[in-house]
Structure 1
Amino acid sequence: MSDVPSFSLGGKVVVQFGGTGVLGRSLVTALAGAGATLIVASRNRDSLASLATKEHEAGRTVHVDEVDIGSEASLQALRDRILATHGRIDGIVFNAVSRPMKSYDDNLAAWQASMDVNATGFFATVRAFGDAMVGQKSGSIVNIASQMGSIGMNPWLYEETPMQIPPDYFFHKGGMINLTRYLASHYGSHNVRVNVVSPGGIYNPDQPQAEAFVTRYGKMTMLGRLAQAREIGGSVVFLLSDASTYVTGTNIAIDGGYTAK
């Protein structure tokens, strides 16, 4: 093995769950641009078709497939299709998220619906694909959490705005961070690495944030601003690549210094 670290994903088969949001689209471009054979999976294959077309036009290879994260059978079927086609799975990126809960006072049914994807679905996904990596004695799992999994809510950020941050988001992102540590321990002896990245607030041009929030959020960071979606992908590529072969059980904060300030 060369002593020069390789950040390339060339020759690696990577599955990304969740690809249509502002961060998901940016991750697709980053992973495909790094050379991965990328399969993007969601419940609605058609919603990914235009994304795949744009990536192909840019000279990057992206495949799309259908999966219901709430169904273990669907996840296993997707895994088996990918193995039958590509022969191996070198990495997964869990970026899927469901946001049925809108406020603290929402019906408990919304909380339960959130857990079906963000807790049970997350675990089912990692177990189905992590177990496949055990058989090949290699693999890298990267989970997309949030800085909100490591801190409490700051009501000041949302004053003078209509924005609400429901409690389920804090619950499942915090749980994702610590379950990542458990999974890293569980799979470590099989040379399967499990890490998590925790982005801070990301500017979304499709849904502009309230001016008061943008100003206040910037004051909470060391860099004085929200992130751009393209600034998250580099850490994910690193964790999937052979440049990070001794990195596991780690949470990388990509938050402009918010949680360190």
Structure 2
Amino acid sequence: MENNIFSLENKTIIITGGSGHLGSSMAESFVKYGARVYLASRNNDKNADFSRYLANKYKTDVFYIKMDTNNSSSVKEAINHIMLKEKKIDVVVNNAYNGKTGEMLTGTESDWMSSYDGSIHSTYRVIKEVLPIMVSQKSGSIINIASMYGVVSPNPYIYGESGQNSPPHYGSAKAAIIHFTKYLAGHFGKEGIRVNCISPGPFPNEQTQQHQKEFMAQLCEKNPMGRIGKPEELQGIAVLLASDASSYITGQNICVDGGWTIW
């Protein structure tokens, strides 16, 4: 892949939540393009299973490490371990998310705080540990995963009685990630570090697709392309932002949403 600007050969990539619904697809694309990939999350068993699957499929090493992005010590320990082994970190994808559901009137302050902790605060913790490494290297790409609901507010009418309503803290925390991305790009661009954001549109998981047919129809009707997204449709943008093909792209929030945010 020497002459391929999308090649990820010799790049060390950490992806948090790398064995989850969307993270697993992005992680696979990194492996496919030649990177040394570390799946990082609290669920080490799931990480181990998925790393074995990828290693067998692509006949290469795929690594995993336990990292609780809600815990600064856990993040620091995991990053230190990877640095001892790899001596560099080229790309970090902040994909992990954990948060509460709920409505504005019935949700609690605890729901709000815990959702921020598992979103923007988790992104901050990882970047806080990785950034000095990238500054020292004079290179690096940080990819933050936000959401279309960090750009536009959810239309309550499409949710009906599905129980899938997006809570108030979700979109506001994702909007914070988008702004944080721009801040970092502005302050560290001269250090050779690029920071960008991907905002996925409607990518409901398999369980939602199977059990919420009316809601799924509403999602498709709202979308200009008339359908939901498939996890593999995040692979192209993920590889682009991780590779040298995006060497002059920074501070951007790229919506992969089938056109959702045009309205």
Q: TM-score, normalised by structure 1?
A: 0.94
Residue in 2 that maps onto 1:87 = 87
> Is the 1:11–1:35 contact (alpha carbons within 8 Å) kept by the matching residues of 2?
yes
Counterpart CA distance in 2 for 1:47 and 1:253 is: 28
* Structure 1: tracts of 5 or more residues without a match: none
Q: Secondary structure at the match of 2:132?
A: helix
> Is the 1:5–1:242 contact (alpha carbons within 8 Å) kept by the matching residues of 2?
no
> Is the 1:66–1:78 contact (alpha carbons within 8 Å) kept by the matching residues of 2?
yes
Counterpart CA distance in 2 for 1:129 and 1:161 is: 39
> Is the 2:120–2:174 contact (alpha carbons within 8 Å) kept by the matching residues of 1?
no
Matched, 1:249 2:251: yes
> Is the 2:123–2:144 contact (alpha carbons within 8 Å) kept by the matching residues of 1?
no
Note the C-alpha offset of 1:204.
2.2
Counterpart CA distance in 1 for 2:163 and 2:23 is: 25
How many residue pairs end up in the alignment? 259
Counterpart CA distance in 2 for 1:202 and 1:54 is: 23
Residue in 1 that maps onto 2:33 = 34
Counterpart CA distance in 2 for 1:162 and 1:72 is: 33
* Residue 221 (structure 2) aligned to one of 214, 219, 222: 219
| More deviation, 10-19/69-78 | 69-78
Q: Secondary structure at the match of 1:82?
A: helix
Deviations 1:70-124 (A, max 9, x none): 2222222211111110110000000000122433312211211122221222111
Counterpart CA distance in 1 for 2:68 and 2:164 is: 29
1:3-14 equivalence runs, <5 A: 6-14=5-13
Residue in 2 that maps onto 1:240 = 242
1:1-261 equivalence runs, <5 A: 6-59=5-58, 60-104=60-104, 105-208=106-209, 210-261=212-263
> Is the 2:95–2:145 contact (alpha carbons within 8 Å) kept by the matching residues of 1?
yes
* Structure 2: tracts of 5 or more residues without a match: none
Q: TM-score, normalised by structure 2?
A: 0.93
Deviations 1:151-191 (A, max 9, x none): 01201110142322111101111111111000111211100
Q: Secondary structure at the match of 1:232?
A: helix
Structure 1 runs (4+) greater than 6 angstroms displaced: none
> Is the 1:160–1:212 contact (alpha carbons within 8 Å) kept by the matching residues of 2?
no
| More deviation, 116-125/133-142 | 116-125
Note the C-alpha offset of 1:5.
5.9
Counterpart CA distance in 1 for 2:28 and 2:78 is: 22
| More deviation, 187-196/78-87 | 78-87
Counterpart CA distance in 1 for 2:68 and 2:206 is: 28
